Structure 1
Amino acid sequence: MPSFSSLGIGLGGNVNVNDLIKASVDAVKLPITRTNGLTQQAAVTNAKVSAFGQFKSLVSTLSDAAGKLTSVTGWNGVAATSSSTDFVTVSAVGGAAATSFNVQVQNLAKAQSSISDALTPAKSAVGAGTLTLTTGTWSGTPKTFAAGSDAVVKIDVTATDTLEDVASKINGSKAGVTATVLTDASGQRLMLRSKTTGESAGYQLGVTDADGSNTDSAGLSRVLSGSTEYAQNANATVNGVAVSSGTNVFANTVAGVTFTAVKPTTADVTVSVSKDNSAVKANVQAFITAYNAVNSALNDATKYDKDTKTAGLLQGDSSAVNLQNTLRMALQSVNASGAFRSLSDVGVVSAGGSGNLMPDGSLSLDATKFDKAMQTPDDVKAFFRGADGGNVTDGFAGKFQGITSKLLSTGGFFASKDQSYKEALKRNAADVERITDRASEVEKNLIARYTALDTKMSTMNQLNSYIQQQAVAWNKTL
């Protein structure tokens, strides 16, 4: 706003025009700035948007927790143990049959490796030609090689290439082997090793020497002379039956069970697979935790503290109350059939042990009652996800997830609430803009009026001063 500090010649030195204009403009803006005005209303609405955003996130977590109780995977948990993990470790997939068997490990899997005779002098050119690397399997005694399905890899060696250059070219060829150079007192040696273990991961090195002989001790053919340690499968017995694996992991030997050979043993290692209810209990506890989180957030937002006489952000808000009631009613769902009919039957109870809800609406798990129910795990499973062969929505968890999914859907509760708040904020912004424009117009008009008034008064004051001067002059002539 322009300053009128220079005014006062026409209006009188005691007139504070700036304060007069500001007071008028502030009066126009009062619907924006006053308590419970538009600014405060927008802040409250944004706070409610944030609160319902938090509720949505918590309900989404709750829906996911209910979903885990409908998943077959969560109900098929198994525990796999080894009597000696120093020799054999074990894991099992959900649904694997309870079983027990003995394992003995004869040897671990090995990769093929080879080392050439020493080439001298060190770091000298090896000789021109072409190396070939073929992957396949060595078998029998003496060893015979059967090429695999992979294409033969050719490595061109120039007349100036050293053994380090050859190793680098082999590594860059992606031939299924790694190459390194060993330098000792005798010279340099080319070392090769398969990238994977097992008999089928063997290799054969060949050469076409530029000197015309592929078997002499001169030129590139020198890298063929040396020693080879052939690849080997891991070998074990399961209950006395021989089994083999290209790696130390036996993944397909026993259905649903994977055991890994750590080192050879002549004594039996007992592997056991049994039903594991801990995953079910963890999923039930996760559901309780997720429900209590959203319930607690709703309690805090809708509470009224009579001691401090302060209300929560959503105290009396029908939408928040309806959301909480919807979730609480969903907990009261009763299955029409089955050994267990309600949550309290499987140990999800109030702290007092009667009914499903504590005074604040939260849940807890009675571990003793739950463990007793899990003595018949199929009945507990049927309660949460419906009977086998039936519909998942027949079980408690399926019904509950259906309700939360509806709340979270595109046209559901949260989407509708978010849209209503967006519209309220849009109206608020429009009202603020309208009032601000009106205040600006009032300010503009007042500035113009006071400026004109000051100019007019200044002219009149000048005329009055002239008249006074003339009067004094007239009086002196009389």
Structure 2
Amino acid sequence: MDPSSMAQMLTSADRAPLDRLLKNQQSQLSGQKAAYGKIKDKLQGLQDSLKALTTGKGLQSQSATFSADGFMSATVKTGAANANYQLFVKQLAQADQQALTLAEDWKAPTQGKLEIGLDGTNLSVDLATLNGGGLTELRDAINKSPDNKGVTASLIRSGGETQLLLTSAKTGESQSMNVSVTGGNGEASFTALETAMSTRTQLSQAQDAVVKLGSAAGGVGGLELKSSTNTFDGQIDGLNLTVTKAHGDTDAPLSLTVATDQSAIESSLEGIVSAYNALVTEVEQQTRSKEGKTAALSGDSMSRGLLDRLRSTLSSPGTGTSLAELGIKTDKNGKLSLDTAAMAKLQQDKPGALETALTGADGLFTRLEADTKPYLDRNGVFVQREQSLKTGLDRITDRQEALDLRMDKTYQRYLSQFTRMNTLAQQMQQTMGMF
């Protein structure tokens, strides 16, 4: 008899049922962990698709196109009507900018004031406070004055001359500066400043941006739109216009067409529909057992609860429209598809209604994205479930290590017993051989 073989055989028989139990438990937990990971990935894909619309540029259901580039850009907002506009950029908004020429070695006089009036405010610099300083000190006094409500002073050196450049911080007709000097006593430096004032160069005239609207936009007539900046926001409902270049007298007006971009809508929604259907398929595969095969998450309430929550939101789109009116259909398996004809009809009958219903503050996609957050947040449902399963797997690993130690002791006990039995048998055999 081989004591080692006998000890190993009995030890294996003792540990076999325990090994099977631990292996089954480990396989079950590992399968659940992998299944949750697959569902989480599909849910993350849905959340990403929803975020692209709810927190990105939104559902781009309308587009704006121009007959020529370079003059203007447009952003279409909710509520814009599908229409065609004729636009002529008469002028761009400008800031007021004036240059005063002074000698580089100019020094401030002992008395007098520099006054700059701007949009109802007045900036006054007492020249005596410069203590005979030069152009740098005058520039700094203007910029740092507590009365400065929007004037920037800088020094420009060109062609052997120094220019004190005064610029209004904002554009628009109201930003015209009224610059003057008062209170001098005849000093040469004050006279030089007066001369610079009377001969100053107007580099840029404060003016509003002007756009003419209408079929005769480039000529006489038409409706004139004004803005103190180069952006027109609100003058035409649903449109934000930014002008970048003025038309010449002989240029033709721009044609701006606002139209529903049906292909862009369908492309945006198809991504969400595809991600949602992939999630439904994954949950079904991981929770529904088939003949001869038990699903990893069979009977799992969390996964089924996730779908129930999303389906509940889908069943109540809100904003006074039904899911069918939005062009979204559901089949008997709970999967989604697009009805592009219904979607186009809503866009035609109620411009902007689709964006409000889907991506508005209480829109369907906004609420669906909110539904995903408790599951995917840093300490969300999936993270907690993964941690629980990992703890379970770690516990099985600990039990396996404890079993290995216990079985090693069992093996040593069996080995000792069979070794003694073998020694006793040999001694009996030797004794019997003496007779």
* Global fold match (TM > 0.5): yes
- Cα displacement (A) at 1:292: 3.7
SS in 1 for 2:300: helix
In structure 2, the partner of 1:201 is 175
CA contact (8 A) 2:35 2:296 kept: no
- Conserved? CA contact 1:298–1:324, under 8 Å: no
Shift of 1:113: 0.9
Q: CA deviation at 1:95?
A: 0.9
Q: Which has the larger radius of gyration?
A: 1
1:96 to 1:212, Cα distance in 2 relative to 1, 3 A:
same
Paired with 2:310 and 2:163, the residues of 1 have a C-alpha distance of: 76
User: Contact 1:198 / 1:232 at 8 angstroms: preserved in 2?
Assistant: yes
State the partner residue of 2:123: 152
How far apart are the structure 2 equivalents of 1:417 and 1:38? 20
Residue 104 of structure 2 corresponds to residue 104 of structure 1? no
In structure 1, distance between residues paired with 2:402 and 2:336: 54
Tell me how far 1:112 sits from its aligned partner. Answer: 0.8
Match of 1:374 in 2: 344
Q: 1:402, 1:188 → 2: CA distance?
A: 62
AA aligned to 1:47 is A
* Aligned: 1:264 with 2:239: no
Match of 1:119 in 2: 103
SS at the partner of 1:253? coil
| Residues 1:245 and 2:227 are matched in the alignment | yes
Look up the equivalent residue of 1:195 and give its one-letter code: A
Gaps spanning 5+ residues in structure 1: where? 1-14, 138-146, 350-354, 451-478
Aligned residues of 2:230 and 2:242 also touching (Cα < 8 A): yes
Aligned to 2:298: 317
Compared CA separation, residues 171 and 273, structure 1 to 2 (3 A): same
Return the alpha-carbon distance in structure 2 between the equivalents of residues 384 and 127 of structure 1.
Answer: 68
Match of 2:156 in 1: 182
Partner secondary structure for residue 111 of structure 1: coil
Map 1:395-406 → 2, pairs under 5 A: none
In structure 2, which of residues 199, 204, 210 is the aligned counterpart of residue 235 of structure 1? 210
Residue by residue, what CA displacement relative to the aligned partner does 1:295-319 show, whole Å, maximum 9, x if unpaired?
Answer: 464577689999xx9x8x9557343
Equivalent residue letter for 2:41: Q
Unaligned runs of 5+ in 2: 215-221, 416-435
Q: Map 1:284-299 onto structure 2 (within 5 A).
A: 284-295=269-280, 297-298=282-283
Gap change, CA 1:112 and 1:256, over 3 Å in 2: same
Q: Distance in 1 between matches of 2:225 and 2:107?
A: 47
1:247 CA drift (Å): 1.9
Distance 2:314 2:149 in 1: 65
Number of equivalences: 384
Q: What does 1:66-465 align with in structure 2 at a 5 Å threshold?
A: 74=59, 77-121=61-105, 125=107, 134=116, 136-137=118-119, 147-148=120-121, 152=123, 154=125, 158-159=130-131, 161-168=133-140, 170-171=142-143, 176-205=150-179, 216-218=190-192, 224=197, 226-229=199-202, 230-239=205-214, 240-261=222-243, 262-266=245-249, 267-278=252-263, 280-295=265-280, 297-298=282-283, 314=295, 317-319=298-300, 322=304, 370-371=340-341, 374-375=344-345, 377=347, 422-423=387-388, 425-427=390-392, 429-430=394-395, 432-433=397-398, 436=401
Distance 1:376 1:445, change over 3 A: closer
Instruction: Tell me if structure 2 keeps the 8 A contact 1:28–1:439.
Output: no
Q: 1:300 to 1:246 in 2, by over 3 A?
A: same
CA change 1:207–1:439 in 2 (3 A) is farther
Instruction: Give secondary structure in 2 for the equivalent of 1:96.
Output: coil
Aligned to 1:196, the other structure's residue is in SS state: coil
Separation (CA, whole Å) in 1 of partners of 2:158 and 2:356: 72
Structure 1 residue 200: deviation in Å? 1.6
d(CA) in 1 for partners of 2:356, 2:182: 70
Deviations 1:176-217 (A, max 9, x none): 233332223443221222222112223344557897769832
TM-score, normalised by the number of residues in structure 1: 0.56
CA contact (8 A) 2:99 2:201 kept: yes
Are the aligned partners of 1:209 and 1:221 in contact in 2 as well (CA < 8 Å)? Answer: no
Between the aligned partners of 1:332 and 1:191, the Cα distance in structure 2 is 62
Query: Shift in Å at residue 93 of structure 1?
Result: 1.8
Question: Take 1:32 and 1:373, find their aligned partners in 2: how far apart are those partners?
Answer: 59
Are the counterparts in 2 of residues 86 and 263 from structure 1 also a CA contact under 8 Å?
A: no
| Residues 172 and 211 (structure 1), Cα distance of their counterparts in 2 relative to 1, 3 Å cut | same
How far, CA to CA, are the matches of 2:346 and 2:189 in structure 1? Answer: 74
Flag the 1:379–1:440 CA change in 2: closer, same or farther, 3 A. Answer: farther
The 3-state SS of whatever aligns with 2:258 is: strand
SS at match of 1:374: helix
Alignment-mate amino acid for residue 231 of structure 1: A
Checking the alignment, whether the CA contact within 8 Å between 1:116 and 1:223 is kept in structure 2 is yes
SS across alignment from 1:189? strand
Q: In the TM superposition, what is the alpha-carbon distance from 1:385 to its structure 2 partner?
A: 11
Q: Report the CA distance shift for 1:342/1:195 in structure 2 as closer, same or farther (over 3 A).
A: closer
Confirm or deny: 8 A CA contact 2:112 2:185 kept in the other structure: no
> Deviations 1:362-391 (Å, cap 9, x if unpaired)?
7666xxx7247624647899x99999xxxx
Taking a change above 3 Å as real, the CA distance of residues 132 and 92 of structure 1, as seen in their structure-2 partners, is: farther
Change (3 A) 1:296 1:208: farther
Residue 57 (structure 1) aligned with residue 55 (structure 2): no
Check conservation: 1:214, 1:221, Cα contact below 8 A.
Answer: no
CA pair 228-43 structure 1, distance change in 2 beyond 3 A: same
| 2:419 matched residue in structure 1 | none
Cα 1:125–1:422 change in 2 (3 A) is same
